[in-house]
């Protein structure tokens, strides 16, 4: 199930989730380990940011020389243009700058640039931020910010959750490299999955298993359980833990080239630690796809050559040299893999048989197995084949 905070963000358009420095550092280090020159000589754009508060700006500015950046650009969105209002107050950094304009601070976005030693201390870092107000409000879709996108080589940010589809299309249409944060469930979006299938985008190095903590503006409603989880991780105050957020990227990292170590089909049926598999005569075959059902990534048989339906969390372990993604179990049959489409009557009959009352069971929305003489939907599945 989707994390409630992400769902609430979509409903209220509260997209103010601030990424922590530690999470940025861990993720970026993975790309540097794979290619120490991945950022060298590059212009990095941090849009949808809040440069005075942003850990993205702080991280890349402080490591400007170590990374070998050519230029760092960070832009913010005007407070008055945000749908979620939280009582914005200009920072002291802005107020004490000679270019501060009280008439613009609420209505205009800001741009921060690092590309040279302004202070004269012999190094280029956070102290060399040069800023001014944008002509508009800083919306990433504006001509002003699109021009900055076209100038950049790599785009890094935590975009608004409610605009993830549009933001990703904005990047891809310009052919840029990127490293962004999104909801894990975005994998299944029709705008997102084809990029993953065609090896144009993949899951970042941190993966799904690590909880990410985000700062939120003062006064934001936070679930007490998520606030408590953030506190256990050392973040006390206006922080929340989002368990289903992850990184999306087209920057290469070593984890995605590590093949899974797997048992054979026979070994899984005999020794699997999962009760749904151990002791079966064979894996379940879908009733509506020519593929077998694999409920856990570690239960993928190493010696099966046909199509397999695996959880979306498989992408955290996906090695493109080991497996091919052929499609996804979904309603519209976008990948022409369905072998059966259920009628309305079949869906209603399956619902009555399962729940003992009138209703409809949307069998066409996912893979279906026949279990105990009953049609059963499975969770969202990605269809893969061994290379």
Instruction: Tell me how far apart the alpha carbons of residues 72 and 62 are, in angstroms, rounded to a whole number.
Output: 11
The beta-strand segments (E) located in the chain are 18-19, 43-49, 71-76, 110-114, 130-133, 154-157, 177-183, 202-203, 212-215, 239-242, 245-249, 292-293, 307-311, 323-328, 368-371, 374-377, 381-386
Give me the mean pLDDT over the 52-77 stretch: 93
Tens digits of per-residue pLDDT, 341-380? 999 999 999 999 988 899 888 999 999 999 888 999 999 9
Please, which pLDDT band fits residue 5 given cuts at 50, 70 and 90?
very low
| Secondary structure (DSSP) of 260-303 | -----HHHHHHH-S-TTTTT-SSPPBPSSBSSEE--SGGG--TT
With helix as H, strand as E and coil as C, how does 207-228 read? CCCCCEEEECCCCCCCCHHHHH
Please, which pLDDT band fits residue 11 given cuts at 50, 70 and 90?
very low
Q: Rounded mean pLDDT of the chain?
A: 89
pLDDT score for 212: 79
More confident residue, 220 or 256: 256
Tens digits of per-residue pLDDT, 275-334? 999 999 999 999 999 999 999 999 999 999 999 999 999 999 999 999 999 999 999 999
Instruction: Tell me how far apart the alpha carbons of residues 41 and 62 are, in angstroms, rounded to a whole number.
Output: 16
pLDDT score for 58: 93
Helices and strands counted in the chain (H then E): 11, 17
Task: Specify the 3-state DSSP secondary structure of 44.
Answer: strand
Give me the mean pLDDT over the 10-29 stretch: 77
Tell which residue, 72, 6, 7, 62, has the closest CA to residue 39.
Answer: 72
More confident residue, 45 or 92: 45
Q: Which residues neighbour 166 within 8 Å (Cβ) at sequence distance 6 or greater?
A: 141
Give me the mean pLDDT over the 144-156 stretch: 97
Instruction: Tell me how far apart the alpha carbons of residues 100 and 201 are, in angstroms, rounded to a whole number.
Output: 40
Tens digits of per-residue pLDDT, 211-245? 777 777 666 677 787 777 778 777 787 777 766 78
- In degrees, rounded to 5, the angle at the alpha carbon of residue 202 between the alpha carbons of residues 198 and 208 is 140
Please, which pLDDT band fits residue 85 given cuts at 50, 70 and 90?
low
Domain range summary for the chain, segments of one domain joined by +? 4-256, 265-386
Report helix angle 21-34 to 55-62, nearest 10: 40
The encoded tokens of residue 78 equal 């005007």
């Amino acid at each position: 199930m989707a994390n409630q905070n992400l769902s609430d963000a979509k409903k209220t358009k509260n997209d103010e989730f601030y990424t922590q420095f530690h999470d940025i550092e861990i993720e970026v280090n993975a790309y540097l380990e794979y290619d120490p020159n991945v950022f060298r000589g590059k212009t990095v754009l941090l849009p949808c940011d809040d440069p005075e508060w942003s850990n993205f700006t702080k991280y890349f500015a402080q490591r400007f020389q170590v990374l070998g950046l050519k230029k760092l650009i960070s832009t913010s969105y005007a407070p008055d243009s945000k749908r979620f209002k939280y009582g914005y107050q200009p920072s002291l950094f802005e107020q004490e700058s000679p270019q501060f304009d009280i008439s613009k601070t609420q209505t205009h976005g800001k741009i921060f640039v690092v590309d040279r030693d302004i202070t004269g201390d012999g190094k280029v870092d956070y102290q060399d931020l040069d800023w001014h107000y944008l002509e508009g409000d800083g919306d990433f879709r504006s001509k002003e910010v699109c021009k900055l996108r076209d100038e950049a080589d790599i785009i890094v940010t935590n975009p608004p959750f409610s605009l993830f589809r549009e933001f990703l299309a904005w990047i891809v249409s310009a052919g840029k490299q990127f490293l962004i944060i999104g909801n894990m469930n975005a994998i299944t979006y029709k705008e997102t999955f084809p990029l993953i299938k065609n090896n144009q985008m993949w899951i970042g190095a941190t993966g799904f298993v690590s909880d990410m903590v985000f700062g939120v503006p003062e006064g934001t409603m936070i679930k007490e359980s998520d606030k408590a989880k953030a506190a256990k991780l050392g973040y006390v105050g206006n922080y929340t833990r989002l368990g289903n957020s992850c990184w999306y990227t087209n920057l290469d990292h070593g984890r995605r080239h590590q093949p899974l170590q797997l048992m054979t089909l026979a070994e899984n049926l005999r020794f699997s630690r999962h009760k749904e598999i151990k002791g079966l005569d064979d894996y379940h075959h879908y009733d509506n796809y020519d593929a077998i059902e694999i409920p856990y990534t570690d239960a993928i048989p190493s010696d099966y050559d046909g199509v397999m339906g695996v959880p979306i969390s498989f992408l955290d372990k996906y090695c493109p040299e080991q497996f091919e993604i052929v499609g996804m179990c979904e309603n519209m049959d976008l990948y022409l893999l369905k072998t059966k489409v259920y009628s309305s009557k079949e869906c209603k009959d399956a619902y009555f048989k399962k729940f003992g009352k009138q209703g409809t069971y949307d069998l066409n929305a996912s893979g279906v197995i026949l279990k105990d003489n009953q049609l059963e939907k499975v969770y969202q599945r990605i269809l893969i084949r061994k290379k």
